[in-house]
C-alpha cells in the first residue's frame, strides 16, 4: 500500500514539473504605453552649428518657423540664437496637445537632415508641460527684444517648494516694466526640472528685472533646493 502511495505521489510531481515551466515561459503582458498629454505641450530643442554657417542656418529656420506656424495644433514656434555663442540655437515649440506635437516629429527630423552638414552637436529635444504659461500674444516681438531660457534643476524632495517659488516669480515678473512674456514649464517625466521662458523689450528692462527685489528674493529662496547650476542664457529671435 505504501509503495502505491509513493507511486501516485511521484506521478503527481511529474505532472507538476511538466506544467510549471510552460507557465513560466508564457509571455508577460507588456506594460501599457502612457497616453500622449492632452493639454498644451512644449518642446525646447537645442543644437550647435558651425558659426560660419549662421546666415544659412538662419534662413532655414525662418522658413521652418513660418511653415510650422501654419500646422494644425501649433501654438507657437520660436527660433532663437544664443547671443554669447552665435553657433548655438534653440527652437521653442508649443502645441495644443501631445498628438499634434508627435505629428510634427517628421518635420523636425527633416530640418535636422537639412542642417546636418553644419551641425556641431545634434538636436537635443526636451519635452515640457505647462507649469505657469500664458498663451503667446499675436504680433511681432519688437526688434532688440531679449529672450532668456533658464533651466532650474532641484533635488527631487524639494520639487514642490521650488514649483511654488517659481509660480510666484512668474506672477511677480509679469508685472515688471518691459516684460513681453514670462512663463514656466516643467519637464515631462522629470518633475524636479523646470524651464523659464522670458522675453524683454530691451536688455535694460531685463537687467532691471534681474535686480528687482522679488527676483533677488526668488534666487535666494530657490538656491537651497538647487541640484545643479542655475543655467540662464540670453537669446535673440531669428527673424
Q: Which of the two residues, 163 and 140, has the higher pLDDT score?
A: 163
pLDDT at 33 over 50: no
pLDDT tier at 115, thresholds 50, 70, 90: very high
Give the fold, CATH level 3, of 142-239.
Alpha-Beta Plaits (3.30.70)
CB atoms within 10 A of CB 156: 12
Least confident interval from 11-15, 76-80, 173-177: 11-15
Helix (H, G, I), strand (E, B) or coil at 190: coil
* Mean pLDDT, residues 55-61: 95
| List of long-range contacts for 66-73, beta carbons under 8 Å, 24+ apart | 67/107, 68/93, 68/104, 68/107, 71/100, 71/103, 71/104, 71/107, 72/100, 72/103, 73/97, 73/99, 73/100, 73/101, 73/103
Range(s) within the chain of domains with CATH label 3.30.70.100:
36-130, 142-239
H or E stretch including 12?
helix 2-25
Q: State percent of the chain over pLDDT 90.
A: 79
Exposure string for 58-77, b = 16+ CB within 10 A, e = fewer: bebbeebbeebeeeebbbbb
The CATH class of the 36-130 domain is alpha beta
Q: Are 107 and 69 in contact (CB under 8 A)?
A: no
pLDDT at 153: 98
How far from 238 is each of 34, 59, 144, 192, CA to CA, in Å?
35, 9, 11, 30
Question: pTM of the prediction?
Answer: 0.82
H or E stretch including 43?
strand 41-49
Amino acid at each position: 500500500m505504501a509503495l502505491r502511495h509513493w507511486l501516485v505521489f511521484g506521478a503527481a510531481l511529474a505532472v507538476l514539473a511538466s506544467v510549471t515551466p510552460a507557465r513560466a515561459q508564457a509571455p508577460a503582458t507588456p506594460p501599457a504605453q502612457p497616453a500622449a498629454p492632452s493639454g498644451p505641450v512644449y518642446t525646447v530643442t537645442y543644437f550647435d552649428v558651425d558659426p560660419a554657417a549662421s546666415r544659412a542656418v538662419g534662413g532655414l529656420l525662418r522658413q521652418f518657423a513660418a511653415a510650422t506656424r501654419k500646422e494644425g495644433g501649433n501654438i507657437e514656434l520660436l527660433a532663437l540664437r544664443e547671443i554669447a555663442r552665435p553657433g548655438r540655437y534653440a527652437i521653442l515649440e508649443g502645441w495644443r496637445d501631445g498628438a499634434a506635437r508627435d505629428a510634427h516629429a517628421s518635420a523636425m527630423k527633416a530640418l535636422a537632415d537639412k542642417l546636418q552638414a553644419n551641425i556641431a552637436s545634434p538636436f537635443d529635444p526636451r519635452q515640457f508641460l505647462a507649469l505657469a504659461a500664458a498663451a503667446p500674444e499675436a504680433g511681432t516681438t519688437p526688434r532688440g527684444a531679449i529672450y532668456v531660457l533658464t533651466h532650474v534643476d532641484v533635488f527631487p524632495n524639494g520639487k514642490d517648494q521650488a514649483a511654488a517659488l517659481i509660480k510666484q516669480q512668474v506672477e511677480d515678473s509679469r508685472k515688471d516694466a518691459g516684460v513681453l512674456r514670462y512663463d514656466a514649464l516643467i519637464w515631462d517625466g522629470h518633475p524636479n526640472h523646470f524651464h523659464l521662458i522670458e522675453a524683454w523689450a530691451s536688455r535694460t528692462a531685463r537687467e532691471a528685472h534681474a535686480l528687482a527685489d522679488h527676483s533677488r528674493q526668488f534666487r535666494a529662496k530657490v538656491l537651497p533646493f538647487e541640484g545643479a547650476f542655475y543655467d540662464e542664457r540670453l537669446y535673440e529671435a531669428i527673424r
